[in-house]
Amino acid sequence: MLKTILKLVIKVLESKLQKSGLEEKIIRNKQYIDVAKQVWNIVEENFRITESVEKKLSSKADEFNKIMLDKFPELTISDISELRQSIAGEVNKGKEAVLENSEILKKLQEENEQLKSKNIDLESKLVAISNYVPVENK
């Protein structure tokens, strides 16, 4: 009887330890994400003006990795890459719509320029034709 009770107590204690370990992991992961967001903002601020897109992207990723490794040496490069991708996805959610709108605007501007050019061409042809065709006065 006592042996059975001790086994049950041991199981309960083990499950509590596992639960507390899991809670610690969850809290730790939240801390990683919070710090990763802060690091993302720091890197974003540092790289506002650069020469080329490729340089900007690679430099940002390298800088993000470096800062995260300094803050959390226990993380692997793979862990940091996953965090960076997660943060990037979250941050860039709204930017897709802006990019689509700017692409549409650019296409409309190009089409408008083409139409203006055609209009000027047609007006000059109309003037040329009206010079050759006699106009009747009524």
The verdict on residue 49 lying in a domain is: yes
19 and 72 belong to one structural domain: yes
Share of the chain above pLDDT 90, in %: 8
- How much is the average pLDDT of 61-67? 84
77 and 63 belong to one structural domain: yes
Kindly report whether the global pTM for this prediction surpasses the value 0.95: no
Give the Cα separation of 68 and 62 in Å (integer).
10
The residue among 46 and 120 whose pLDDT is bigger is 120
Give the Cα separation of 122 and 11 in Å (integer).
89
54 and 84 belong to one structural domain: yes
- How much is the average pLDDT of 96-121? 80
Q: Which of 80, 79, 74 is nearest to 61 (CA)?
A: 80
66 and 18 belong to one structural domain: yes
pLDDT of residue 105: 74
Query: Are the CB atoms for 39 and 86 separated by under 8 Å?
Result: no
pLDDT tens, residue by residue, 10-55: 776 666 655 555 556 656 677 878 888 888 787 777 666 555 555 5
Give the Cα separation of 58 and 76 in Å (integer).
18
Q: What is the largest CA-CA distance in the chain?
A: 124
pLDDT of residue 73: 87
- How much is the average pLDDT of 98-112? 76
50 and 66 belong to one structural domain: yes
Query: Are the CB atoms for 73 and 67 separated by under 8 Å?
Result: no
Give the Cα separation of 106 and 9 in Å (integer).
70
Counting the structural domains of the chain, the total is 2
pLDDT of residue 50: 53
The verdict on residue 85 lying in a domain is: yes
Give the Cα separation of 65 and 63 in Å (integer).
5
Q: Is the pLDDT of residue 93 over 80?
A: no
Domain of residue 109: give its range: 94-129
Residue type, 57: L
80 and 23 belong to one structural domain: yes
Give the confidence band of 78 by pLDDT, cuts at 50, 70, 90. confident
